[in-house]
Amino acid sequence: MKTRSRTRIEKDSLGELAIPADAYFGIQSYRAARNFPISGTQVHPELLASYLKLKRAAARANQAVGALDPKRARAITRAADELLAEKPEELARHFVVDAYQAGAGTSQNMNANEVLANKANELLGHALGAYDPVHPNDHVNMSQSTNDTYPTALRLATLALAGPLVEELDALAEVFAKKARKFDGVLKAARTHLQDAVPIRLGQEFAAYADTVARCARLVDDARTGLRELGIGGSAAGTGINVPKGYGPAIVKELRRAFRDPRLEQARDLRAAMQSQLPVMVYSNALRAAALELTRIVNDLRLLASGPSTGLAELRLPSTQPGSSIMPGKVNPSILEMVNQVLFKVLGNDSGLAFAMQAGQLELNVMMPVMAQLVLESSAIMAKALAQLRLRCVEGIDANRERCRAYAENTTQIATALNPVLGYGRAGELAKEALATGKSVVELVREKKLLTEKQIRSLLDPKKLT
């Protein structure tokens, strides 16, 4: 943390500390920053934004139910608005707690409380650190606890990042569908077990990719549902201690407005919303499933574009950068390689989140800070990687039509079409002979006069076979 020349003295239950005089954070944030110099990584900006919006909503809800006077409520609201207008790098000056911190996010909650209290007091013309007339605990944290605000902010931040991810999945599916239409007439050989199979159209392969990605988008979209159930109002143990009557409905109303989501609702059981982070895990599992499918598709694209002289070379990828520091003219599938790495990270994050999710005990899961770090990172990097995949790779993919047709006409498994006429055994002999002689199945059928030209055209036309 940067050393500042002027300080102020703050006091808590553990004693006194000198705090930088112009800091919006206070003694509890400062202690946490000194206790946890772990990663040098700030919590995700979306979590900070969600926390500020949540605190603003709480101030308004407390005013609405008569628990907080209008002057303090307006000051907290204005403080939150001004902080939300700051850029992430500016917010980092105020939110100093490392991403890896004390359990449950108590340090993060107090960081928000102190920053908002000091900002509000400054707006009212009072000194930083005096916490009068706005106090971090008594006013900013009124009707709340870390135990209901942190999981609520976590779910809201995840929802905020899930939207762009679903949009990117839908956009990628549409680009695959567009390519499917463009490649519909491109004949090629299908492959099963990485061995030659019957003919297929390249457009059919891409249509299957489009369908899979669209299904992934729906999977992630559906997984957002549980995140809209918020445990806010549960206070310390989900029992609602110190929460005034009407506060729950009032803050949900404010949150719906702040996050522009009319489907947000207070959880049916506030204890369950505190004990269990199942909705976060379900969402992460949806990302995992999507990452696995996308990895498969990306690997296919790399394989189909392998070469260009000694590989399959059925696809031509757009060139994005030189591929070697020593081999002239080499171009690698760099975007696809990047996407693979991001998807591997998403898979790893899901595993880490699973350990954290099951570590909840009794009335609280204290591992929420690492859950937040993992799930928010996954959502953000996955969306950005898919955007680059779409813009810098899939949109520019073209087909090597000549190579594809050659494979389609030379696959020995075109003999499969002869089964109904010649039988499986005779067709198998032809396929074996084709491999041994290097002749195509069609050539052998003609040589042996097993079928008329009309039958050949009817049975062995690759386009008809697909």
Give the span between the Cα atoms of 397 and 393, in whole angstroms: 6
Query: Could you tell me how far CA 95 lies from the centroid of its own chain?
Result: 24
| Side chain identity, residue 204 | Q
Give the span between the Cα atoms of 2 and 111, in whole angstroms: 17
Give the span between the Cα atoms of 155 and 252, in whole angstroms: 13
Out of 39, 319, 324, 351, the active site residue is 324
**Would you call 324 a catalytic residue per the annotation?**
yes
- Is the preceding peptide bond at 249 cis, omega within 30 degrees of 0? no
Q: Residue 230, class by beta-carbon neighbours within 10 Å (0-12 exposed, 13-18 middle, 19+ buried)?
A: buried
Q: Pick from 207, 372, 223: which is nearest to 290 by CA?
A: 223
Alpha-carbon Rg for the chain in angstroms: 30
DSSP assignment of 167-234:
HHHHHHHHHHHHHHHHTTT-EEEEEETTEEEEEEEHHHHHHHHHHHHHHHHHHHHHHTGGGGEE-TT-
C-alpha to C-alpha distances, 175 to 308, 377, 395, nearest whole angstrom: 24, 25, 6
Q: Residue 260, class by beta-carbon neighbours within 10 Å (0-12 exposed, 13-18 middle, 19+ buried)?
A: exposed
Q: Pick from 77, 149, 59: which is nearest to 119 by CA?
A: 77
Judge whether 315 and 400 are in contact, CB under 8 Å.
Answer: yes
Q: Which two three-digit tokens encode residue 313?
A: 């070379």
Quick one: the chain helix, strand, coil %, rounded to 5?
60, 10, 30
| Side chain identity, residue 282 | V
| Side chain identity, residue 341 | Q
Judge whether 186 and 403 are in contact, CB under 8 Å.
Answer: no
Give the span between the Cα atoms of 108 and 128, in whole angstroms: 19
Judge whether 180 and 207 are in contact, CB under 8 Å.
Answer: yes
Judge whether 343 and 295 are in contact, CB under 8 Å.
Answer: yes
Active site (catalytic) residues? 324
